Amino acid sequence: MVNLVWFALDIVIFIQLLRYGPREFADLSKRVFYGVCGLTLLTAFGAVFLTTIEFHDFGVYSAFGQNLMMSVLFLAMLYRRRSLRGQSLSIALCKLLGTGFASLAFFLFSSLSQRSVLLPFLYVAIFVYDVIYVGMLYKQQRVATKPSNNPITEPNQAEIPL
């Protein structure tokens, strides 16, 4: 059941990628953007499927590996955009807490986690990057909400130095 809910949420994220993604990569034609998305999806499917077969784990290593990649990519997105556009402290905190509790549950109750050296590393690395992301978002949110000399610029859309 958890996997179905997760899949449904992933479908929502994928639809948003298809809808809003071309705007983020304006230097690519839509055809190239969608082609890259398709190739990336196929590559990700292959990586998850083969990791599951290789490690006999039903997706645990893949899930936490992907989660670490997302944590790093959130930082890259914040740096690249130089604004809070599309990002919020509440989303960052939900990711931090959700992954933190999932990591803790796997660490305490999964026999796979007890005999793995990689999974505990992934738990800690994800947590560290998520804390950094929350801190950077908090800092930028404070800068963005300071009164500006330019009344036309909306606070959440202003460029913020990193």
Q: Which residue has the tokens 């978002």?
A: 137
Pick from 82, 80, 97, 83: which is nearest to 134 by CA? 97
Domain boundaries, the chain: 1-56, 63-162
User: What share of the chain has pLDDT > 70, as a percent?
Assistant: 90
Average pLDDT over residues 42-69: 90
User: What share of the chain has pLDDT > 90, as a percent?
Assistant: 61
Q: What is the pLDDT of residues 40-50, one digit of tens each?
A: 999 999 998 99
Q: What is the pLDDT of residues 7-29, one digit of tens each?
A: 898 899 899 999 999 998 999 99
Average pLDDT over residues 77-91: 87
Residue 102, CB-side half-sphere exposure with 13 Å CA sphere: 17
Pick from 147, 132, 91, 22: which is nearest to 158 by CA? 147
8 Å CB contact between 41 and 33: no
Predicted model pTM: 0.77
CB atoms within 10 A of CB 66: 15
What is the band of 39 on the pLDDT scale with cuts at 50, 70, 90? very high
- Asked if residue 157 has pLDDT above 60, the reply is no
pLDDT at 117: 93
Average pLDDT over residues 89-118: 92
Pick from 75, 86, 51: which is nearest to 125 by CA? 75
Q: Given phi > 0 = left and psi -120 to 50 = alpha, else beta, which region is 146?
A: beta
